[in-house]
Every structure is written in C-alpha cells, then in structure tokens.
Chains A and B, each alone.
Chain A
Amino acid sequence: MKKNVWTKRNMIAFATAVLLLALTACGGGNEPGNTGTGASPGGSAAPKSDVTLTLWHWKVGFDPGLKAVADAYKKKTGITVETQVTTPDDAYTQKVTAAATANNMPDIYLYWSGPTNGAFDGRAMEWSAELDKDPAWKNSFYPSALSGTVIKQSQLDSYAKDKKASDWLKSRQIGQYYGIPIDVGSFYTIYGNAKLLQEAGVPLEAPPTVEQWLKDMDTVKAKTGVPGFVFSAKTFSVYENWMANFQDYMKNGPEEFTKFMNRESKMSDPAHLQVAKFIEDISRSGNLLKGAVTLDIDPSDQAFAQGKATYTLGGTFTLSSLTALGMKPEDIVSFRVPAYEGSKVPDAKLPSFPLVQAIVTDNGPHKQEAIDFVKYLTSEEGMTLYAAGALDVPSVQLKNRDSLSPILQSMIGSIGSEANWYADNADTYNKVFGAEWNKFHEMKQKIILGSATAEEAAREFDKAAEAEKAKE
C-alpha cells in the first residue's frame, strides 16, 4: 500500500513536471532569432561580437555565396550570420508565413522580389530612409533593380481594387521599399544546342523573327530527327511569363500590351492570338518534345541538356543549370526570344529586374546589425563574393568583375543596365499571374495534347478574363 502511495506521488510529481515543461514550451520567447547575448558592435570597426544573425532563404545554389559574404563579414565585425535553407519554394513560403503569423521571424530573410512581397503587413522594415541616407549605395544598384522593388501608384491602385488586400497594404506610400534586391536577371532567353544546329546547317546567330525561328526548328527536325523545342509545359507561367507576355509587348507596343494585360483587349483578337497560336504551331509540327506537359523546369532543362530538343526556354539563371547538367558553354547558343514579323518594338532590350530581395525584420532584436549586414552584402565587396559563390548576377553594378568566372562576366554583360518601359512596368507584365492566365495554362496543355485549338483556347481565356474583369 505504502509502495502504491509512493508510486502515485512519484507519478503525480512526474506529471506536474511534464505539465510545467509543456507550459514553458508553449510560452515561447518573444525575442526570436536572438541567439546572441552581447551588445551591438556599434559599427563595422568592432572586431569582436557575440551577436548572431539568422538569415533564411530557399536557394540552395545561393548558399555558398551568402556564406562567403557571412564569413567575410564575421572577420570584419565579429558578427556571425547563420544561413538556413528551406526547400522547395512552397515549403519555404509556408515556413515564412507561419513565422510571420507567430511574430517569430529571423533577423533577415530572402523573398521573391516585388514591392511588398514578403512584407507581411509590416513585419518587414522599410528601407527608403536608409537608401536616402546613403546616395552612393543607392546609386550603385542597377536602376531596374530598385525600380522593381519600389512602391508605385499602380501598386496602390491594384491594392485598392483587391478585396483580399489588408488595410496595411492599402495604406502604403509611393517610394517605399520593403526589400533590397540582391540579384537581377531576366527571363525571355532561348538556349540552343550548337552541335545540332551546326549538324543541320542552321546559323548559330539569333533568328530575326519567330517565323524564321520556326523554320529553323523544322530544318533541324528534318535533318536530325530532333524536335525543335522543349519547355516546362507542366508549370504554370513558364511560357506565359518567360516568353508570351514579352513577345506580346514587342508585337503590340506598350499601349496595346497594357490593354491586353488589363483585360481590355481579347486574346482572340489577331493582335494577341499568337500567344495561343505559337503553342499550336509547335505542337502540330511535332516540334515540341513529346511529354512536355509532364516536365517540371529541371527535367525540361535536363531533356535539352541531353540533346532531346534543339531549343529550350529559360532565363539568365538557366545557363548555370545547363552547365551543371554537363553542357559545355561552347555548345550552347543563347538569344532573346524572337519578335514576330511586323512587331512594333522588335529590338526591345532584354529587360532585367530584381529576382530575390533581402528583407530585415522590423522588430528583430538586432535590427541595426541586420541592416548593416544587408548593406555589406550589397556593397561592391559583398556582391563580388556573393556573385562568385552563387554564380548569380548581382543587383549592383560591379566596378571590378575580374575575380568572377568568364560565364558570369558574360551574363553580367548581357544584362541591360538601363531601366526601360517593360522593366519599369512590373505590375503590368505581372498580371500574367491573374486567374485568366491560369485558365490559359490549362488550355495550353489541351492545345499541346490536341484536344483544343488556339482559337478555342483564346475564347476560353477571354471568357475567364471577362469574369475576372467583372469582379474588379
């Protein structure tokens, strides 16, 4: 009996301990990411610090570059920057969203570039004062890098129409920045297999028009048996956002392109029907690799690298993937997506825009140190280290590129440093993420599989666009 009482007391004590432990765990800390205990170094001159900053991101390929910058920064300031990678993209989005909801953000996190992307209703700090304080730093960025991250009137108009937009979003001001771009890049790039082109006797230079490009595909197919084109037709927005929207802009010019993206012009109109017609042409001619609808982006690059198709669609970031897949740079040709015959802006420069931005948590325990690190990351020294390690085009115009690899130097050289209409109107071309374009993606797959025509796809798109327009 005594033994029983003793056992019961012990069990109760144990349960109480577990309960307390659970309560403690549930309580949590209100200083997330605060792994350091020391004071701020008070500037980059301080040689030692026990402050540790946490940096979250989702780009495995970027990690060596970010770590190289972190190492150099630790040598300068003593501040440790720990990088944490979470993949794939949607797992990272979930992680950051959950952390923002729980107010448990890291000191710094990377996010897809965009004026309020990843700002989480004010969890992110606003940078305009910091940028204005340091004009040399502000002016070191590619103009298109900053213009792609600043809030403009068009964004505010778009938030005002969106029933889901929070009051915080609706009360933003023109000229605010919630992220600092760390890289720039571009889509709208066609990569070609030089060996196949030479075998078929097709010139390695960029074809002047889409019509000529389609003929080149036919030639290669006739002479080598290899289909002309592969892209990830499984992934929404690869064709729509990496090719079709830019070609429509070149064909119709800014005004008509804006009307189309704003649902004021129809895809079934001959001015815009090429968006669907191109898919029909390459599918019916057998120039699209069979099974393209089942390919994600990486498998599509892989199919191209294996010589299963003559051309593939990508961006400036695709080159490193192709070389990683074993292609020699000399076996690859690349050019901007061709314009259609009779296009209004056939010589449009490859627009560059920010791809990834660094965001500092506004209420982080080491906010100043985080700001200083982002400024170092986007300095000449930091960006050189980053670019070399990540094989990524930095957002800053580097004065000295000698330490970078030749491929990277050539990629940086191909980036248009000037801001242009297309790059400045991200909110227009980004309308390609609207619901009607999702419908087009579905119809595009049907065209490829032969169960819909270009005209039918365009009509379905128009119906969807009309329904979306009615909700505005």
Chain B
Amino acid sequence: MKSGSFHSKAARREAASAYLLMAPAILLFLVIGLFTVLFSIGLSFFHMGHGSLIANAKFAGLDNFKDFLLGDDQLLSESFWRALRNNLIICVSVVALVIPVSLLISVLLQNIARGVRLFRTLLLLPMVSSSVAIYYVWTGIYEPSGLLNRLLQAIGWKSAMAANGWLGELHTSLPAIIAVIVWGMIPGTMILYFAGLQTIDSHLYESADIDGASFGQKLLHITWPMLKPITVIAVIMSLNGAIQIFDPIWIMTKGGPAGSTEVVSVVIYQEAFVNMKGDLGRANAMGWTMFALTFVISLISMRTLKEKT
C-alpha cells in the first residue's frame, strides 16, 4: 500500500513535471494557434469593413456565407464559384501530372548507371530556389517577347505563339500557371518516391528479371503497387498544395486576365486586404469554407486510396 502510494506520488510528480515541460509549447499553441483559429471562426460571423476595428465588428449571422455561397452578393459569388472551379482544375491537373511524372523520373534515376547525383541535384533545384524569384523568371519566360514565344518562333511554330503572352491570354493563362505549379511540386514528390523505392526488396526485381519481365511490366506490377502508400501521401500533399495555392498566382497574374486564373485564396486576399470595400468577416467565412472543402477532399482521397492499397 505504502509502496503503491509512493509509486502514485512519483507518477503524479512525473506527470506534473511533464506538463510543466510541455507548458511553453502549449501556451504558445493556445495563444498563437488555437486563439487565432477560434477568433477567425468567430469573425466569419461578423461584418468588418476595411479600416474598422474588430471590437466594432457587427454581427452578421450567416450573411457572410450566404453572400458568396448562395449569391446574395452576386459579384462576389460569381467570383467565388469561378475561383473554386479554377482550384478544382488545378487540383486535378496537378495530381494527374505530378504523380506519374515524379514516379517515372524517380524510377528512371534509380535505374541509370551514371550521373544520378547530378540529375537528382538538378531536379531538386526548384525546391531549394527562392520561389518568388522563380515566379518572376517564369513571368519573363511567358511574356509576349519572352523565351517561350521566341522558341516557338525559332522553330517555325508562329501560330502557337501567344500574342499577349502566355499569362495574358484567356485560354493559356491557367495552363501556364499549372505548368509552374507542377514544376514546383515535382521535386518534393520525387523525394517521397526516392525514399519509397529504397524500401522495395530488390529480390522482387531479380525474380521478375528471371521471368523475363520488361521495364514497363516491373513498373506496373511491382513498383506501382509497392509505392501505393507513398502515393496516398503524395496525392494528399499535392491536393492540399493545389487547393491552397496562392503565391504563384498572386505574383504572376493576380488572378487575371479577366479572372481566368483566379483561385479562392486570391479572392479571400483581395476581400481582406486589397478591396477598399472588402469585408474581413466575409474573407474569413470563405477561408473556413475552403478549409472544410480541403478537409473533405483529403478525407475522401485518403479513404479511396487506402482501400485500394
């Protein structure tokens, strides 16, 4: 009994010291993390005009959500739904391009005999470069007199050139942005696949070689199934990145021309900080709507892909 009491006291002391050690982190989370999150949720139910104080915000009920979801504010609603459609196009394109390309490059690099390090370094460059500088470089490439148009002119494909620049035409601006996003996401996904490839037992490939399997058959029947858990993570990461995308679009097009590259994060930013007639409450409401959507999409993709693994 005495011994038990001693043990329970020691356990309590142990627990107390553990809590004390965790306290700074918990405090920081409560102040910076949880408080901000709760505050933002709360604000989404209030009107707060540009230049007003939060203390003077006016209760709006569900008005902010109705404004963009149900069209109570026709122009904002049009903008929101168009931006959401662009977000979905980016999501689908990114997943459809990033996953196979990253996998293919990783597998090819795994199989080449010489220069692996050089190629890996080159391919990882987008990850270690300053993204803002890179987006400006891409903007230059896409200009009417930029590298891409000059290249097309040089090879005699004048009809394929974009007269107003690749970011300046309604039908090329979004694909041009998607190309940059895909280019930026491939290195991160490649690292995941590199790591995954190291875990596949080489005996499987040796057996396949003995059976006379081709490169494609090995990729399809050994590599792909073995890397499915990695693919689940890669898909979810790509989806999250694509839904929350902001920097390249804001820097390269600000959502234009004519809203053709507008995504929800750009609409939110404009509503909160750019539009003098904007409403910080509505911006928060759109932000939480996007969070809910991201959460649902991630959940669905995780379950779907896990079922198949």
Contacts and interface: CB of A to CB of B under 8 A. Distances in A.
A446 B75 CA distance: 17
B48 A449 contact: no
B52 A120 contact: yes
B155 interface: no
A174 interface: no
Contacts of A235: 254
Interface in B169-210: 169-170
B20 interface: yes
Given A16-B20, A116-B51, A166 B56 contact: yes
Contact of B258 (A94, A100, A162, A442): A442
A183 to B, nearest CB: 20
Interface string B257-290: 1110000000001000111110100000000000
A169 B23 CA distance: 42
Nearest to A443: B258
Nearest to B71: A467
Nearest to B27: A22
Contact of A291 (B73, B143, B273, B277): B143
Contacts of A166: 49, 52-53, 56-58
Nearest to B277: A433
B126 interface: no
Interface stretch (B108-116, B160-168, B224-232, B241-249): B160-168
Contacts of B133: none
Interface string A18-36: 1100110010000000000
Contacts of A120: 51-53
Contacts of B139: 294
A169 B52 contact: yes
Contact of A294 (B27, B56, B76, B167): B167
A26 B31 contact: yes
Nearest to B60: A163
Contacts of A290: 144, 163-165, 168
A439 B164 contact: no
Nearest to A124: B51
B54 interface: yes
B75 A435 contact: yes
Contacts of B254: 234-235
Given A293-B256, A449-B164, A23 B56 contact: no
A8 B17 CA distance: 8
Contacts of A435: 73, 75-76, 277
A442 B277 CA distance: 17
A12 B47 CA distance: 45
A291 B143 CA distance: 7
Contact of B21 (A15, A90, A436): A15
A257 to B, nearest CB: 20
B20 A15 contact: yes
A176 interface: no
B51 A19 contact: no
Nearest to B78: A439
A445 B257 contact: yes
A157 interface: no
A163 B47 contact: yes
Contacts of B52: 120-121, 164-166, 168-169
Name the residue among B24, B51, B165 with the largest chain A CB count within 10 angstroms: B51
Contacts of A97: 51, 273
A446 B53 contact: no
Contacts of A116: 51
Nearest to B259: A442
A117 interface: yes
A404 B258 CA distance: 43
Interface string A99-117: 0110000000000000011
B294 interface: no
A464 B74 CA distance: 8
A451 B168 CA distance: 13
Nearest to A449: B170
A164 B256 contact: no
Nearest to B20: A15
B28 interface: yes
A7 to B, nearest CB: 11
A467 B72 CA distance: 10
Contacts of B142: 294
Contacts of A446: 170, 257-258
Interface string A436-452: 10110011011011010
B53 A100 contact: yes
A283 to B, nearest CB: 10
A207 B129 CA distance: 50
A8 B14 CA distance: 10
B254 to A, nearest CB: 6
Interface in B53-103: 53-58, 73-76
Interface in B109-150: 139, 142-144
17 contacts: A11-B21, A116-B51, A121-B56, A164-B48, A166-B56, A167-B56, A234-B254, A234-B257, A293-B164, A294-B139, A435-B75, A436-B75, A442-B258, A448-B164, A464-B75, A467-B74, A467-B75
Which 10 A-B residue pairs are closest in the complex by CB-CB distance?
A164-B49, A166-B56, A291-B144, A294-B168, A445-B258, A445-B257, A293-B257, A121-B53, A291-B165, A166-B52
Given A19-B24, A294-B253, 6 more contacts: A11-B17, A90-B273, A169-B49, A290-B168, A293-B164, A433-B277
